[in-house]
Every structure is written in C-alpha cells, then in structure tokens.
Amino acid sequence: MDTPIPKTWRIVDVLKWSKDYLSSKGVESPQIEAEWMLREILNCTRIDIYLNHDRPLTAANLAAFKKILIERVSGKPLQYVLGYTEFMGLKILVNKHVLIPRQETEVIVENLRSFLSPNKKSASRILDVGTGSGCIAISLAVHCSDCEIVAVDISSEALEIARENARLNHVSDRIQFIKKNILKETPGNQLFNVIVSNPPYVSGEWWENMAESVKNYEPEIALYPGKDPLVFYKRLAELAVSNLAPDGILALEIGGSYQENDVKSVIAEKGLGDFQVIKDYLGQSRGIIARLHK
C-alpha cells in the first residue's frame, strides 16, 4: 500500500487504511466492512466512529482488528468471521451451517407484515419452510406480536442456531422449531394462514457463476436445489394446497426476474392466484405472494 503508516493509529487512520486495503483485495463494500470491524472491536456505534475519529487505538485494539482483517481477506465472509449479522434491525447469529441473511429477504418480511394485521380476531399461524438461521420466523415474531410460528429445516445444526437466535431476540415461546425434510415430509394436518419460504433456488449457470465467497463458505444445501431449479417451489405449492387455511397466502423468495414466470406457472398449476410480485431495492423481482381460495 502507498498510504504512509502513522506512528499512532487513530480511528480515522485505521478506517482509511483498511478501506483501501479491503478494496485492493476485491471486497465489494470496503467502507461498510471497515466500519463494521471497528464497531466490533471498540463496541461502539457507527456514529461513535465518526464523532471520535481522532481517538487512538490501543495495542489490544489493533491486534483484535488485525485478527479480523486477516480472516476476512482470506475470503471468509465478515458475518462468519464475527459470528453474527443484522436482519430487520435484529442481531442474528450465523455460522457455516446457515445461509447469511440478505437485505433482499427483508422485503419479503416487510410485505408479509401487511397481511398479519393485529386487528384480526385470532392469531395468525405461520409456517416457515427452510428456516436456516431463523431470521424470517424471528423477525415476524418480533414485529407481529400476535402470530404463532412453526419453523422447519432439514439441518439439525441450522435448527440449533435458529433456536439460539429466538432466545436472543426473546421470541422462543412463539416459535416451534422442527426438523423435517420438507420434500418428503409434511407439517401434519395443521392449517396455516401464511406459508413462507426462502428455498434453495440457485442452479445452472447461476450456480456455476456464484461468487467464490458464497460457494466456498455458505451451506450448499441452502442454495442449490439440484438439477431442477423449481423442485422446492413445486413442493411448496403442494403444501399450500394441503396446509393453507381458506384465503391463506404463500410467500416465496425467488432468485430474480428471470425466475418470476416459471415460479408463477408452478404455483398457478396448483390453483393459487392473485399474484403479487415483490421488488427488491434494485427493482428486481425478489418475491411472489399468492393466495389460495378455498
């Protein structure tokens, strides 16, 4: 690096140097990640970083920062390095057994909230399929206090961290976590007002061209559906027919606009309609909501 190394490392010095260094290593959001690392080692907010930009770092601070930085530039996602991320304003613990929650998935939760009005006569019952870290189920439980949730996943390790996240966010009493292979098993005879899922959907050329930081670190089982990119959507449509209450809704995350029509067709074949397409922050189709009329 051409940046001169100061004798005393202040917050502003570490921020500028690490941002440049991360950028040189191909990190997509170097400023955000440099700030996040500083927030972690100093146990402060982003505003604190800029209000105290002249604060010198101790030797212990620098050692802790260096440790995180080295692990990050090895290719490991920062969320796995730190062991947590943020989703819908909540702290969500993550490890190699769960997919890192994405900001794009937040738009699914935000749209679902309008369907879960607290003015309903009875609590809304929700089935979260492939819960992973539990981020969808937990954020719905936090933001919709009158809902009851069943969250299923095939991975025991994922369910372990999902339960920990539910405890961390004080909603353990309203979420039932169950291990199931949803392609082969059913949630029983229960009826739900909402079935929601962020299923594995990355296949074909999209899987082949996936960033190495994702393919090398995040669980393949949560991303890759196999040769049929629609296999989970087909199964979820079947579950909607058998397990949605009258006028219940099915809410699904999709990979983008390229999948929209295919997923709609699969759902429509099972009799669901009234489609609502959810756009992400870049204007891409990110989710589909469909209603089951019985």
HEC readout, 121-175? CCCEEEEEECCCCCHHHHHHHHHCCCEEEEEEECCHHHHHHHHHHHHHCCCHHHE
CA–CA separation, 24 vs 73, rounded Å? 10
Q: Per-residue pLDDT for 119 more than 90? A: no
Same domain as 286, residue 211: yes
For a pLDDT cut of 90, what percent of the chain falls above it? 84
Tally of helices (H runs) and strands (E runs) in the chain: 12, 9
User: Do 168 and 229 belong to one domain?
Assistant: yes
Residues 101 and 243 placed together within one structural domain of the fold: yes
Residue-wise pLDDT for 174-223, tens only, equals 999 999 999 999 988 899 999 999 999 998 888 888 888 899 999 999 99
- Statement to judge: residues 139 and 273 lie in one domain: yes
Domain identity same for 121 and 224: yes
Mention every residue, 6+ apart, whose C-beta is less than 8 A from residue 279: 107, 285, 286
- Which amino acid type is present at position 21? Y
Q: Is residue 81 part of a domain?
A: no
Average pLDDT over residues 5-21: 89
pLDDT band of 2, cuts 50, 70, 90? low
220-277 pLDDT, tens digit per residue, is: 999 999 989 999 999 999 999 999 999 899 999 999 999 999 999 999 999 999 999 9
Shared domain check, 182 and 49: no
Which residues contact residue 38 at a Cβ distance below 8 angstroms, ignoring those fewer than 6 apart? 11, 14, 15, 44, 49, 65
Kindly state whether residues 67 and 107 are assigned to the same domain: no
Q: Is residue 64 very low, low, confident or very high in pLDDT (cuts 50, 70, 90)?
A: very high
The pLDDT, as a whole number, for residue 265 is 96
| CATH code at position 254 | 3.40.50.150
Residue 186 shares a structural domain with residue 53: no
The answer, yes or no, to whether residue 117 has pLDDT greater than 80, is no
Residue 282 DSSP symbol: T
Exposed, middle or buried: residue 275 (CB in 10 Å: 0-12, 13-18, 19+)? middle
Domain enclosing residue 193, as ranges: 95-292
| Inside any domain, residue 172 | yes
Q: What is the Cα–Cα distance from 291 to 236, expressed in whole angstroms? A: 13
Contact 131, 108 (CB under 8 A): no
Provide the residue type at 119 as one letter: N
Q: Give the span between the Cα atoms of 11 and 49, in whole angstroms.
A: 7
Phi and psi dihedrals of 123, rounded to 5? Answer: -65, 140
- Asked if 73 and 213 touch (Cβ cutoff 8 Å), the reply is no
Residue 29, helix vs strand vs coil: coil
Q: What predicted TM-score, i.e. pTM, was given to this entire model? A: 0.92
Residues 109 and 183 in one domain: yes
